[in-house]
Structure 1
Amino acid sequence: MIDTEALRTQPELTGGHVVLTQLDETYFETAWKALQEPETIRLTGTHTRFTPEQIRTWLAGRTGLDDRADYAIVRKEDRAHVGDLALTDIDKDNRSASFRIALNGPEFFGKGYGTEATRLLLDYAFDVVGLHRVSLEVFDYNPRAQRAYEKAGFVREGLQREALWWDGEWHDVVTMAILKTDPRP
């Protein structure tokens, strides 16, 4: 059974170097800046160009939901907003969800923030919310993310051939998932 109250109240999750806290409109400035960062856009495959008002409205609507969890990733030492991650598309009957993460720019890549945040969210998803399966999609041109997901326990399950058109060429989408019963390093 899914604990929808845990989703609605979304507790703060603390690790050694990052804290996951409710994503909301207070993160507008850094979220907006990240949406202008070319490498973040490429790694997330985002074709849409958002307006500031769209982002403000979306961020304001993140709290109190019982069908997803949206977290800001903040660096523990100074509370700098380094990215965000989410459990989305929660299927209560099958106790499954999709996962996504984006760091706010190259200055935050390769420092372990994403890996630690992913592990914190998976512990919450399986041990608190009651999910059985969490899946994700990652583009073939992002092997660094694929390695990070594997370090967190995700297993490659498949390939969607030529599913993304980016910069004039087709790219594959790798599908990965982790089950509650899988080892979590």
Structure 2
Amino acid sequence: MSEVNQFGQPVGKALPDWQPRPWPQRVTLEGQYCRLEPLECRHANALYAAYATAEDTRSWTWLLREPDESEDAYRQWVDSVSSLSDPIHFAVIDRRTEMPVGSLALMRIDAKNGVMEVGHVHFSPRLSQTPMSTEAQWLLMHYAFNTLGYRRYEWKCNSLNAPSRRAAQRLGFQYEGCFRQALVIKGHNRDTDWFSIIDSEWSLVDRALRTWLAADNFTADGRQVRTLQSLRA
């Protein structure tokens, strides 16, 4: 509820106890299906091989980078980002095989206002559309809201990237609008769609994700019993 100042102007809800939040760290986050580890050069060879299992390079279309031409080129990119404090890249490790199968990052970190974004999401065929892929997202959300106490967690994507839009909404992000002509990427215009989860919504999103990820939500052949959307309803 918005408050009013001495001039009768609305000034927003008061947050008298608000303090800047801690900066996220290069930590390891453990789940039941996967583990997130800070991305390092030791992950590069296996990640390059995981991405190479795709039939083509369509998973790179919406990324800011072009596909790497060699394992060495990919390793050099990993080395260039592995010590950054923003974005902070994480490798997704399949706990069954102990092999990295994708990566994602926390980025555009604004500790003063308690806001950050998940981005640079690149999942190999070994990770896409598996419980691991949902758990990887949940692990970072849980870290942002429960461990660090952030107020807002963002997802942004190319407005034409329908799979990313669907993924955001499936996970519980709320659509906020389109920033037209926000970027020029690979020689093309990019309109950017914005999504977010805020702290007041997190308990419902968290409960639905935990319930969906539980073993009893899957049949013996791995099919989901209830959808995430139905669990939030």
Q: What's the TM-score once normalised by structure 1's chain length?
A: 0.78
Deviation at 1:103, TM superposition (A): 3.0
User: One-letter code of the match for 2:42?
Assistant: T
User: One-letter code of the match for 1:115?
Assistant: T
CA distance in 1, matches of 2:174, 2:42: 35
Q: CA RMSD in A?
A: 3.0
Select the structure that is richer in strand: 1
Provide the aligned length of Structure 1 versus Structure 2. 179
2:41 to 9, 19, 25: 25
Change (3 A) 1:42 1:96: same
Change (3 A) 1:149 1:25: same
1:136–1:175 Cα contact (<8 Å) kept: yes
> Comparing 41-50 with 169-178, which one deviates more in the overlay?
41-50
2:46–2:99 Cα contact (<8 Å) kept: no
Specify every segment of 5 or more residues in structure 1 that has no aligned partner in the other structure, as ranges: none
Say yes or no: does 1:115 pair with 2:134: yes
Q: Deviations over 1:130-176 (max 9, x none)?
A: 21111121123432322222232211111133556678865532111
CA distance in 2, matches of 1:123, 1:2: 15
Per chain length, whose mean CA-contact separation is higher, i.e. which structure has more relative contact order (CA < 8 Å, sep 6+)? 1
CA distance in 2, matches of 1:111, 1:90: 28
Q: State the secondary structure of the residue aligned to 1:120.
A: helix
Other-structure match for 1:42: 61
Specify every segment of 5 or more residues in structure 2 that has no aligned partner in the other structure, as ranges: 1-19, 209-233
Greater Rg, structure 1 or structure 2?
A: 2
Give the 5 Å matches for 1:82-161.
Answer: 82-161=101-180
Say yes or no: does 1:81 pair with 2:113: no
CA distance in 1, matches of 2:140, 2:120: 10
